Structure 1
């Protein structure tokens, strides 16, 4: 499954919409995503599993790159 992660660059940064970054990650579940990203110094706001329709929409973005383990 592919997850969309919304995050801030700094782990102690207060979430501000204009500064929110997006990352796409392939994993079995949200726990695996959090485990894989725990060493990065980022502030995760939200992890959203993408269904087929939402994934198709996200793939249209030029910034769409999926990371995995």
Structure 2
């Protein structure tokens, strides 16, 4: 997993403004195995597994 807080990359007056406004944007990247399984009742009907990559960029404030 890679995680980067965007405010840590900002320099100078922009960094001060980001802290004052509560900016907490982040970039997250996950890589690994993805498994999708389909059940009918309790019985496993089919399954698919492969390598996967998931990325998330967040630009706003976290909800309380």
- TM-score interval, smaller chain: under 0.3
Q: Who wins on radius of gyration, i.e. which is larger?
A: 2
Q: TM-score, normalised by structure 1?
A: 0.22
Relative contact order higher in (CA < 8 Å, ≥ 6 apart): 1
Q: Larger % of strand: which?
A: 2
Q: Larger % of helix: which?
A: 1
